[in-house]
């Protein structure tokens, strides 16, 4: 069976700084993989390379077996690759409902229509409300995103990605910036995601990583340091030395 996402020999440098070094990574269908590593290891850079925000200097990215290395970011999204951002990237001046309806509209090609009122397709509104229901955001549907507390905004960030109906979902620190009293809400949502979606999650909270992930990839200085099951990673002395030992107990949460 072809993997949902496969990264082969990915390289990228900013000047002399090599931020991605021969990265290989496979997400099987329905994968639950965590990407961990110290600050500056290149985790977000890898997400940007996979989604097409950045172009690799060499290497290939395959989505469901198709080479997407040369395609645009938007084309990859249309083929079923979605992501969330470490720092919210939302349509702040629009309502939560509009955030989702527009995403669905772009997914289905409705947004090519200049004439029909956006509200005329109740299927779209229903689907948007279903997504909001599943994240318990229905009561906020008509609020502007910028009026929501940050924790709720993080949920909208995920809701948009889900409304894309992705086959592969990259979650870049979904609970970043949320007080720990509220972060369990977001992590519950992440844990309950559709098992058919292949998910790569970047996360610093080791409790979450060990609870959620079936495989873990450790990234250090732009290269894959090691990968394995949570038990293997936990038992790996070298990982403890470079990562867990350094900041494992601090449960680092940077912005």
* Site membership for another protein, residue 28 (CB under 8 A): no
Selected from 22, 24, 28, 106, the binder of another protein by CB under 8 A is 106
Alpha-carbon distance of 202 to 173, in angstroms, equals 5
* Site membership for another protein, residue 69 (CB under 8 A): no
Selected from 26, 62, 94, 223, the binder of another protein by CB under 8 A is 94
Q: What is the DSSP string of 23-90?
A: EEEEE-TT-EEEEE-STTSSHHHHHHHHHTSS--SEEEEEETTEE-TTS-HHHHHHTTEEE--SS---
* Site membership for another protein, residue 125 (CB under 8 A): yes
Q: How far is the CB of 159 from another protein (least distance, A)?
A: 12
* Site membership for another protein, residue 152 (CB under 8 A): no
Go through 219-238 and write b for each residue having 16 or more CB atoms within 10 A of its CB, e for each that does not: bbebbbbebeebeebbebee
Q: Judged by CB under 8 A, which stretch of 26-34, 35-43, 137-145, 175-183 contacts another protein? A: 137-145
H-only helix segments in the chain: 43-51, 73-78, 96-108, 122-134, 150-163, 180-191, 206-212, 230-235, 237-239, 245-247
Binding characters for another protein, 1-20, by CB under 8 A (x = yes): --------------------
Alpha-carbon distance of 12 to 243, in angstroms, equals 23
Q: How far is the CB of 180 from another protein (least distance, A)?
A: 26
* Site membership for another protein, residue 210 (CB under 8 A): no
The 3-state DSSP class for residue 192 equals coil
Q: Judged by CB under 8 A, which stretch of 118-126, 175-183, 199-207, 216-224 contacts another protein? A: 118-126
Alpha-carbon distance of 207 to 170, in angstroms, equals 19
* Site membership for another protein, residue 160 (CB under 8 A): yes
* Site membership for another protein, residue 134 (CB under 8 A): no
Q: Which residues bind another protein (CB under 8 A)?
A: 51, 53, 72-78, 82-83, 85, 89-95, 97-98, 101-103, 105-107, 110-120, 122, 125-126, 129, 132-133, 138-139, 141-142, 160, 164
């Amino acid at each position: 069976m072809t993997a949902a996402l496969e990264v082969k020999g990915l390289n990228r440098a900013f000047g002399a700084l090599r931020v991605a070094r021969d990265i290989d990574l496979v997400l099987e269908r329905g994968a639950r993989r965590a990407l961990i590593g110290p600050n500056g290891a290149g985790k977000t850079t890898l997400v940007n390379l996979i989604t097409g925000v950045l172009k690799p200097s060499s290497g290939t990215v395959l989505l469901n077996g198709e080479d997407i290395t040369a395609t645009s970011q938007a084309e990859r999204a249309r083929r079923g690759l979605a992501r969330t951002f470490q720092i919210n990237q939302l349509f702040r001046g629009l309502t939560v409902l509009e955030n989702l309806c527009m995403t669905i509209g772009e997914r289905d090609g409705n947004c090519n229509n200049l004439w029909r009122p956006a509200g005329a397709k109740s299927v779209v509104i229903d689907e948007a409300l279903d997504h909001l229901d599943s994240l318990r955001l229905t009561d906020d549907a008509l609020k502007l995103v910028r009026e929501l507390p940050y924790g709720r905004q993080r949920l909208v960030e995920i809701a948009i990605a889900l409304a894309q109906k992705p086959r592969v979902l990259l979650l870049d620190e979904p609970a970043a910036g949320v007080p720990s009293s509220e972060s369990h809400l977001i992590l519950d949502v992440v844990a309950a995601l559709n098992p058919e979606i292949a998910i790569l999650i970047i996360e610093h909270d080791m409790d979450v990583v060990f609870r959620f992930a079936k495989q873990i990839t450790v990234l250090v200085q732009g290269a894959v340091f090691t990968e394995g099951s949570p038990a293997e990673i936990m038992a790996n002395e070298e990982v403890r030395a470079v990562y867990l030992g350094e900041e494992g107990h601090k449960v680092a949460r940077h912005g």
